[in-house]
């Protein structure tokens, strides 16, 4: 799940930035959304904290109101002209690190002209801006969240990497991988229409799963996650992954751990995610290792133990 940095000027857009952060937290969780008033510990030096969080974020949101570029300090100097201006530091750090920067326009603001910005900030104007309108604020935020999530690796990519890098299990997921790869535009259009009955392919696999076959349970869960030959249903998919994992299916252990870590189809549970991911890693699934490190790094209700998994 992506990490999001929310940058704003307090006397320009604090209300809108707060509402935006609330919606982002509801979707991604508090640990994955950085906004200064909620994230910085009192007494902590601001610049190194900003640098650390910018370095870790996947998306940087620059909330821009009508006074963002023209705000002045107590001496009457435009704040953006000050190299130590916090907003300038935040945006400059994100641009320098290559973090995707999205200008977020609020209070009917427009992007400032290039000549109104220091040279270091001008590349931000090359980014596509989004607007959050007061009358349809939450709907606009929902569209923004869809853009943010668009950069997240797809399940198809994860299964493909899983098959490439895990020789021991490549054969066990070959059928699922093939089903995922053959998805084309026509199938995606068909997925928007609720099927009246399962197709034969899904029905056959479902029957095997209901007989207790762990591999079939994993395949059913994968189909439901991606919406292959059946309506996409993350909750039902998580249920099948859990059943297959309980039977010792290593691929299901890995995927169920991912679902628990990301809160997809099941409530987020860092401790349970860690248990399943560690079992998958111990069984020979290297793709589980980065998720284990991520859980420790994020502090998702887990603490460092004596078991240390090396990076890939």
Q: In CATH, what number is assigned to the domain containing residue 257?
A: 1.25.40.10
Is 307 domain-assigned?
no
- The pTM assigned to this predicted structure is 0.51
User: How would you classify residue 263: left for phi > 0, otherwise alpha for psi between -120 and 50, otherwise beta?
Assistant: left
Whether 177 and 255 share a structural domain: yes
At residue 297, the pLDDT reads 63
Whether 81 and 134 share a structural domain: yes
Confidence band, pLDDT 50/70/90 cuts, at residue 70: very high
Whether 135 and 232 share a structural domain: no
Distances (CA, A) of 302 to 38, 231, 265: 21, 34, 21
Q: How many CB atoms lie within 10 A of CB 54?
A: 22
Structural domains counted in the chain: 2
pLDDT digits (tens, 9 = 90+) for 210-257: 999 998 899 899 888 877 777 888 899 999 999 999 999 998 998 898
Query: What is the torsion angle, in degrees rounded to the nearest 10, for the CA atoms of residue 83, residue 89, residue 93 and residue 94?
Result: -130
Query: What is the torsion angle, in degrees rounded to the nearest 10, for the CA atoms of residue 170, residue 175, residue 180 and residue 183?
Result: 140
Of 149, 180, 198, at which residue does a domain stop? Answer: 149
pLDDT digits (tens, 9 = 90+) for 257-289: 888 888 888 998 888 888 998 898 888 887 777
Whether 87 and 207 share a structural domain: no
Question: The domain that contains 30 carries what CATH number?
Answer: 3.40.50.10140
Count Cα atoms within 13 angstroms, Cβ side, for 117: 18
Cβ atoms of 184 and 201 closer than 8 Å: no
Whether 25 and 145 share a structural domain: yes
Cβ atoms of 150 and 38 closer than 8 Å: no
């Amino acid at each position: 799940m992506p990490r999001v940095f929310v940058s704003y000027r307090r006397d320009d857009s604090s209300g809108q930035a707060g509402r935006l952060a609330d919606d982002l937290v509801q979707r991604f969780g508090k640990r994955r959304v950085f906004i200064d008033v909620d994230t910085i510990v009192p007494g902590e030096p601001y610049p190194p904290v900003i640098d650390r969080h910018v370095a870790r974020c996947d998306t940087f949101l620059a909330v821009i109101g009508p006074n963002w570029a023209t705000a002045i300090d107590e001496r009457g100097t435009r704040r953006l002209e000050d190299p130590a201006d916090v907003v300038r530091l935040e945006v400059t750090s994100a641009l320098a690190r290559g973090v995707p920067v999205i200008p977020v326009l609020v209070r009917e603001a427009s992007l400032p002209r290039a000549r109104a910005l220091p040279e270091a900030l001008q590349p931000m104007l090359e980014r596509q801006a989004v607007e959050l309108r007061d009358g349809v604020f939450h709907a606009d935020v929902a569209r923004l969240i869809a853009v943010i999530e668009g950069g997240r690796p797809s399940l198809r990519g994860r299964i493909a990497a899983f098959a490439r890098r895990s020789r021991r299990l490549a054969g066990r997921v070959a059928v699922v991988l093939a089903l995922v790869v053959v998805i084309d535009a026509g199938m995606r259009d068909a997925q928007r229409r609720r099927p009246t009955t399962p197709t034969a392919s899904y029905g056959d696999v479902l029957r095997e799963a209901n007989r207790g076959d762990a591999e079939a349970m994993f395949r059913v869960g994968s189909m439901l996650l991606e919406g292959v030959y059946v309506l996409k249903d993350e909750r039902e998919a998580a249920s099948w992954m859990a059943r297959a994992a309980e039977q010792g299916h290593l691929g299901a252990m890995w995927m169920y751990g991912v679902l628990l870590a990301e809160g997809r189809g099941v409530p987020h549970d860092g401790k349970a995610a860690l248990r399943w991911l560690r079992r998958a890693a111990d069984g020979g699934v290297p793709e589980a290792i980065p998720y284990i490190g991520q859980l420790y790094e994020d502090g998702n209700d887990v603490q460092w133990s004596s078991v240390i998994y090396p990076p890939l």
